[in-house]
Amino acid sequence: MSTAQAIAESTGVRIAYEVAGSGPPLVLVQGLGYARWGWEPVAPALAEEFTVVAFDNRGIGASDVPEGPYSTRELAADVVAVLDAAGMERAHLVGTSLGGMVAQEVAIGWAERVDRLVLACTTPGGSHAFPLPARTLELFAEAPALAPEVALRRFVENALAQRTVAERPDLVQRIYEKRLASPPDPSGWQAQAAAGGAHDAFSRLQEIEAPTLVLHGTDDAVVDPRNAALLEDAVPNARRVMLAGAGHLFFWEEPERFVEVVGDFLRETA
């Protein structure tokens, strides 16, 4: 992504975004604690075929950090504000993790703005969903007693498949350095986390009209992979692709595969 930063206004909150490429509009929605740089491995390739919009959710990056807690509905309204600012009536929408929860809310509340929907490593939320895996819960409990840099590296490793951590220390280091260079605002992180924790779209998923692709890594330790089947079953026109051996950040682990699968889906016309 190399274009100049622009600003969208969302009920008084400034949302920073950028646009690259040409072709059908495609909006990318990041997860908890990641600004738009989180799409670095896949955005340039997607921009070869699509007009790619990447932005910083409220609470992180160059966007404002209003007082929290936030809700996924609020974050979804920010997506719509970005669409408006970019002059896009409709767009494909890809959301990962918390961004996938936000994308659900956009597709439910603003169905006329969404062409095709990709829900990556995410959950419908609520009591019907599978909770955070034990490995992540244990890390959250342990992290406050760790040195900040140690905790950050552990969170990076936790978001990758164990095989990736063992075999690709260069990738671990690359993401770790990116996160060190752009640390999230603590209050913004907490406000985003509150949005994810309170998200519950399970009973409303049948309202999603957009053709939907559900993507999940089988070795995801952050969001239980079984949630992918829940989404596939609940969204009317959905199908699921499971990426064997991939972790939560599978678009960093397997960027070419991600671009291929997402691109094939977005090109479909039926």
- The 10s digit of each residue's pLDDT in 132-165 is 999 999 998 999 999 999 999 999 999 999 999 9
Q: What's the confidence (pLDDT) of residue 264?
A: 98
Q: Domain 6-131+184-267 adopts which CATH fold?
A: Rossmann fold (3.40.50)
Maximum distance among all Cα pairs of the chain, rounded to whole angstroms: 52
3-state secondary structure of 118: strand
Rounded Cα distance between 231 and 247, Å, is 18
Q: What is the pTM of this model?
A: 0.97
Q: What's the confidence (pLDDT) of residue 1?
A: 47
Residue 29's nearest CA partner among 115, 76, 95 is 95
DSSP state of 183: P
Q: Is the pLDDT of residue 228 over 60?
A: yes
Residue 34's nearest CA partner among 55, 52, 20 is 55
Rounded Cα distance between 114 and 134, Å, is 34
Q: What's the confidence (pLDDT) of residue 68?
A: 93
pLDDT one-digit tens code per residue, 116-141: 999 999 999 999 999 999 999 999 89
Q: What's the confidence (pLDDT) of residue 4?
A: 80
Position 221: which residue type? A
Percentage with pLDDT > 90 across the chain? 96
pLDDT one-digit tens code per residue, 243-256: 999 999 999 999 99
Q: What's the confidence (pLDDT) of residue 210?
A: 98
What's phi and psi for 197, nearest 5 deg? -65, -30
How many Cβ atoms sit within 10 Å of the Cβ of residue 40?
16
Q: Where are the domains of the chain?
A: 6-131+184-267
Residue 181: Cβ-neighbour burial (10 angstroms; 0-12, 13-18, 19+): exposed
Q: What is the mean pLDDT of the chain?
A: 96
Q: Is the pLDDT of residue 211 over 70?
A: yes
Rounded Cα distance between 93 and 262, Å, is 11
Q: What's the confidence (pLDDT) of residue 270?
A: 57
Rounded Cα distance between 114 and 81, Å, is 13
